[in-house]
Structure 1
Amino acid sequence: MLTDTAVKKAERRDKPYKMADSGGLYLHVAPTGSKSWRMKFRFDGKEKLLTFGPYPEVKLSEARERRDEARRQIRDHIDPSGARRRAREGRDQQALDEARAVSFEAAARAWFDLQKGRWAPVHADDVITSLERDVFPAFGARALTEIDAPAVLKALRAVEDRGSIETAKRLRQRISAVFAMYISEGVVALDPAAAVGKALRPLPKKGRQPALTDVDEARGVLIAAEASGASPVTKLASRLLALTQSRPGMIRGAEWEEFEGIDWTGERYGPFMPLWRVPAARMKLVSDLKAEEAFEHLIPLPWQAVDALLAVRRLSGRGRLVFPSQRHSHRPLSENAIGYLYNRVGYHGRHVPHGWRAAFSTTMNALAKRQRRVGDDDVIELMLAHVPANKVKAAYDRAGHMERRRELSQEWADMLMKGLAPANDVLGGRRRGS
């Protein structure tokens, strides 16, 4: 019989060899010097082999215990190699059963945690918020295997019924992605969201976004919105959006550290117009440009925009985001908050948040044509962050014509904000919600 010392001192040789213990147990020593416990036995007239694991992870005493258990199974006419396989399969089946019992919400959050690293923070927030708002209440508590196509369609119909056709389609894709992950892991066999795609309503034909391009009519949108009982954060986000020619997503994801040259005490304005430096990752650029610092966007801030920032800083200045969600300060304002506000005050189908860009472009281009301002059309395109086809030119121009951009920005602000109250007045009569 073997001893611990003999096993420990066994040295490698040019060829593999065995060191016998008893009852069919032996130590196998490979030419590499690795050692493992094995046992030969006969069952139903056939010679078979068991492996008990490597030494020193499996000690001599443990190898003998496993040998004795195998011999007991042989006496009871049980193939020990088959018993081990069945035990392993049993454990696998138990794990699979447990996975199948996982709720859709737990599965979706696991999928989201795997994916969010490749998304911009604002998009990641949109993804999880849309699931929390529209999907989890519908069937988030149900097990993956209990969810069928009618359940998915019912949840998405509720989204369509409020007019959010595109959101419903995006949600179907996200639900499908969750199921795809668990299909690949063998937890479920089918994706119930796949069959729902053709049952959803088609997107309306895309045309121009509704926009009031007359500056006096456009000003009426701000007056009506700011006279409403909406959250002051939403109203100030609307005001800054109108003043900066930015896209709604840029406003929602704005962080305090992106603003330069502002005296946050509000006691003075410096000799140079402050800037908003929007990182390339948050711009509407093709994916291969989003990591390039050269494609960040610089927005000159007229004094009315600074006034709005100073006001909202009283509400959100302790956090990272300029315009946080009402419910979760670490998340940005809802993607629909400003649009819903405009709808509620009578501008449904007439003016959308993105429409401020059209209002600015139409007004300033018409002014340039009327006053024969040569070159203003190119400057306006820069202010709208329209990336030229030539990447080198785009990188060079990111800060180009900055002096003229400052002048046009202030000119637009003076026209648009004529007669409007200071931003601090928007803080009065604060209400929750948006």
Structure 2
Amino acid sequence: MPLTDTQIKKAKSNGKVQKLNDGDGLRLEISKAGTKSFKYRIRANGKDTNITLGLYPPMTLAEARAKRDEVKAAVRQGIDPIKCKRDAKLKQLAVEQAEQQRITFSQLFEQWHDHNESEWNYKYATDIRNRITQHLLPVLGDLFIDEITPQQIIYALKQMEAKGLGDSIKKVKQYASRIFRYGVGLGLCAVDPVRDIPAADIFKKPKKENLSHLTKPQDLYQLLNAIDAYLGDISTATALKLAPHVFLRPSELAGLRWDEVTLTKTKIGDATLEHGAVLIEWERMKMKRPHVVPLSKQAKELLQTMEAFKDSSAFVFPSPRNPNRPIHRDSLGAGLKRIGFNGKQTAHGFRHTASTLLNEQGFNRDHIEKQLAHEAGDVRHDYNKAEYLKQRATMMQAWSDYLDGLKAGADVVPINHHKKG
């Protein structure tokens, strides 16, 4: 007689394996432990084999009969249900393993950053982390990398554009592409979705960098005295005072380290620098060339005021929040805004002020360009960082003296007695 639901429900374990036949090869098997399962006997590949259709009660009697009929029909068509079941199990296992190997964009970023960090300098590694953390992780961080589309990346970049950060989009996009290509190389994702983002017509062209700078003596008189009266933190205040004297870019000045500074007489090449020098290695320079700044007497004295912090920080201008980090390059621009020179003078503009006036006043253009570190090239090639150093030292001292005269309100005689050549 066929089985009934009531009969199956009431069947109990008796310490032995029980087999209750339903008919047409289907039976309910009760294990010694009391587990109930539906089984079906088939003949495949020339031999009889039992297959488990499912467990009771998750599978009902009606479902077991329907499954039995399905298997029977498959066998008639020459299909081996045991092999199909094994293949399905292997496929499911492969899917589960693939799921375990899937990682999010945030996880991929951390792997990529950790892998490369030892090859980067601190400033570069920090810049990458800050940009990705601020602009991409809030949108993409929790998404699986193999599901991220170009449209999702564009959405993240468009949010930057809406915040007025269009000038940073290109760099963030480049970092994102490098992260995905790292994932492709490790077999964690198939493609770099950044590659399909059009290079043009998607984002507004960024505004050119504001390089506002002053060159009129009366304007510089007001600027230099306003900087002297700045009441912000001592690191930013001193860096602002030093900025007009050294021609460094904001990032180079803000990140200045004590191991880059010599405040005693020093000889470099055939030049003796009476007041010391700043020597920045190629890694921190925009043009990837080592660079020497001969210090004027005034620049040396400003640096000496920061020596009180030398034992507690490796940086000449430590952050007031964390002495293990320097002030941010934007601190200089923020300081200039606080003293009323927003739109008139930028931190980078000090370089243009010096370049304009020194050229007007007769200094050799090659000496000026060399001191501005405008040369680009491969650091592996020979490079004479001390080139024109005697002349540059003379120029830097004359420039600082000129600034002091302007600050004092004197009727400063232009330093144009220096002939070009």
Q: Could you state the TM-score of these two structures normalised by the residue count of structure 2?
A: 0.62
Could you tell me how far 1:148 is from its partner in structure 2? 5.1
Distance 1:187 1:254, change over 3 A: same
Distance (Å, rounded) in 1 between the aligned partners of 2:188 and 2:322: 33
Equivalent in the alignment of 1:200: 203
Distance 2:381 2:146 in 1: 54
Quick one: which amino acid aligns to residue 171 of structure 2? Answer: R
The CA deviation at 1:334 is 2.7
Contact kept? 1:387, 1:394, Cα under 8 Å: no
Q: How far apart are the structure 2 equivalents of 1:159 and 1:237? A: 30
Find the residue that maps to 1:395 and give its secondary structure: coil
Partners of 2:273 and 2:393 within 8 A in 1? no
State whether residues 278 and 292 of structure 2, in contact with CA within 8 Å, keep that contact through their aligned partners in structure 1: yes
Q: Assess, with a 3 A threshold, how the Cα gap between structure 1 residues 314 and 132 changes in structure 2: closer, same or farther.
A: farther
> Given the alignment, which residue of 267, 277, 281 partners 1:279?
281
Out of 336, 340, 347, the residue aligned to residue 342 of structure 1 is: 336
Match of 1:303 among 297, 306, 329: 297
Q: Partner residue of 2:179?
A: 178
What displacement does 1:300 show?
Answer: 0.9
User: Is structure 2 residue 360 aligned with structure 1 residue 366?
Assistant: yes
Question: Which residue is equivalent to 2:248?
Answer: 246
- Is 1:408 paired with 2:402? no
SS in 1 for 2:278: strand
Partner SS for 2:160: helix
Structure 1 residue ranges without an equivalent (≥5):
1-42, 46-75, 264-269, 422-434
Amino acid paired to 2:99 = D
Matched, 1:135 2:136: yes
Query: Within 5 Å, which residues of 2 pair with 1:76-115?
Result: 93-100=95-102, 102-115=103-116
The question of whether the paired residues in 2 share the 8 Å contact of 1:222 and 1:238 is answered with no
1:352 equivalent in alignment to 2:339: no
Change (3 A) 1:187 1:334: same
Alignment of 1:387-402 (within 5 A): 387=375, 395-396=383-384, 398-402=385-389
Q: 1:392–1:281: structure 2 CA closer, same or farther, 3 Å change rule?
A: closer
Alignment of 1:249-260 (within 5 A): 249-260=251-262
- Residues in 1 aligned to 2:376 and 2:106: alpha-carbon distance in whole angstroms: 43
Q: 1:237, CA displacement in angstroms?
A: 2.5
Provide the residue aligned with 2:33 in structure 1.
none
- Measured in 1, the distance between the counterparts of 2:380 and 2:184 equals 45
Cα distance change on mapping 1:261 and 1:178 into 2, 3 Å: same
Partner residue, 2:122: 121
Residue 324 (structure 1) shift? 4.1
Closer, same or farther in 2 for the Cα pair 1:124/1:345, shift >3 Å? Answer: same
Post-superposition offset of 1:228: 5.0
- 2:31 maps to what in 1? none
Shift of 1:331: 4.0
- SS of 2:292 mapped into structure 1: strand
- Asked if residue 318 in structure 1 is aligned to residue 312 in structure 2, the reply is yes
CA gap 1:399/1:235 in 2 versus in 1, 3 angstroms:
same
Equivalent residue number for residue 383 of structure 1: 371
Aligned AA (2:391): R
Distance in 2 separating the partners of 1:329 and 1:139: 32
Report the 3-state secondary structure (helix = DSSP H, G, I; strand = E; otherwise coil) of the residue aligned with 1:347: coil
Are residues 93 and 181 of structure 1, via their aligned partners in 2, closer, same or farther at CA, if it must alter by over 3 Å?
farther
Gaps of at least 5 residues in structure 2 are 1-43, 47-79, 266-271, 409-421
Q: Is the 8 A contact 2:312 2:323 kept in 1?
A: no
What's 1:156 paired with? 157
How far apart in 2 are the matches of 1:155 and 1:226? Answer: 42
Instruction: Check the 8 A contact 1:241/1:251 in 2, yes or no.
Output: yes
Report the Cα distance in structure 1 between the residues aligned to 2:143 and 2:230, rounded to whole angstroms. 40
Distance in 1 between residues matched to 2:175 and 2:273, nearest whole Å: 49
Of all paired residues, the percent bearing the same amino acid is: 25
Letter matched to residue 301 of structure 2: D
C-alpha distance after superposition, 1:374-420 (max 9, x if no partner): xx333223222233999999834x32443332222122122324586
SS in 2 for 1:318: coil
- What do the CA deviations read for 1:297-331 (whole angstroms, capped 9, x no partner)? 22111232223322334346422232344555444
Amino acid at match of 1:201: K
Q: 1:149, 1:196 within 8 Å by CA — same for their partners in 2? A: no
Partner Cα distance (1:192, 1:402) in 2: 49
CA distance in 1, matches of 2:367, 2:228: 30
Secondary structure at the aligned position of 2:306 is classed as helix
Question: 2: CA distance between counterparts of 1:328 and 1:92?
Answer: 48
Contact 2:177/2:192 (8 A) holds in 1: yes
Give the letter aligned to residue 373 of structure 2. A
- The structure where helix makes up a greater share of residues is 1
2: CA distance between counterparts of 1:327 and 1:150? 38
Q: CA deviation at 1:275?
A: 0.9
Higher RCO, Cα 8 Å, sep 6+: 1
**Aligned with 1:156: secondary structure?**
helix
Q: In the aligned structure 2, how far is the partner of 1:192 from the partner of 1:225?
A: 48
Contact 2:154 2:197 in 1 (8 A): no
Report the Cα distance in structure 1 between the residues aligned to 2:190 and 2:376, rounded to whole angstroms: 47
Aligned residue pair count: 324
Structure 1 pair 78/105, CA: closer, same or farther in 2 (3 Å)? same
- Asked if the contact 2:246–2:295 (Cα under 8 Å) also holds between the matched residues in 1, the reply is yes
Aligned residues of 2:246 and 2:293 also touching (Cα < 8 A): yes
The answer for the alignment partner of 1:52 in structure 2 is: none
Shift of 1:251: 1.6
